[in-house]
Amino acid sequence: MASSPQPLSTAINKPQQAQRAAVLAIGTANPANCVPQDEYVDWYFRVTKSDHLTKLKAKMKRICYNSGIKQRYFYHTEDTIRDHPEFIDSALPSLGARQAILASAVPELTAAAATRAIAEWGRPAGDVTHLVFATSSDAHMPGADLRLASLLGLRSSVQRTMVYFHGCSSGSAALRVAMDTAENNHGARVLAACAELTVNVFREAREDRCWNFSVVQKVENKRRRNG
């Protein structure tokens, strides 16, 4: 004997128990340029041509000493700064040049980390059904999510979501969206990707704008905490 079917309205309104999301793999990556902490202040003031600001340099050394950071990774190098003097001269426009660098640098760095995560997961990249990408660095359209999907060989049908300009909370926002997606889409396999590069905030040292190097300091602190 079969039970009588429920009315359609009852079936629709019946609460559904969501599947629980789980982290299946994690991958990280850093830019190639590594500056030891004990060399960072000298490096920064040299490349920004700010060695004459001795008091400001001493202040930054104290900040770095108390930060607990051992080394810093940057995409930009001395050659980058030399080729783009507008990066260390606030009177010159620099947004276009910065974004031109980030357009390829952000998805490429993210692809390196995502490749490690997918390898640890142990399944083909084509099995990824959803991509959530968070960054406050790149601002192109189409975005870094499309470029990343291409670099990883994701299916053209992968559902992509960009989380732009959430600042220090962008990683948390991406994980929140990824969790909601995984729990509410049966069989979903979500890749959450987060990347930040300080090319877009790197500035010269100035005594009347101490936040110029404080911003770099804070962003780098966040990067180290997030791995």
pTM over 0.75: yes
Q: What pLDDT, in 10s, does the model give residues 25-83?
A: 999 999 999 999 999 999 999 999 999 999 999 988 998 888 888 999 999 999 999 99
Q: Is residue 213 part of a domain?
A: yes
> What residues of the chain score a pLDDT lower than 70?
1-18, 209-227
| Lateral strand order in the sheet of 159-164 | 159-164, 130-135, 190-194
Q: Is residue 131 part of a domain?
A: yes
Catalytic residue numbers, as ranges: 168
221 and 188 housed in the same domain: no
- The helix/strand/coil state of 114 is helix
Number of separate domains in the chain: 2
CA distance 78 to 48: 9
Domain that holds residue 114: 96-197
CA distance 116 to 26: 7
45 and 79 housed in the same domain: yes
Q: Which segments of the chain are extended strands (E)?
A: 33-36, 71-74, 130-135, 159-164, 190-194
CATH number where 138 lies? 3.40.47.10
**Cα→Cα distances 202→21, 27, 49, 50, Å:** 37, 26, 13, 13
Provide the pairing of β-strand 71-74 with 33-36: antiparallel
pLDDT at 180: 94
Q: Is residue 20 part of a domain?
A: no
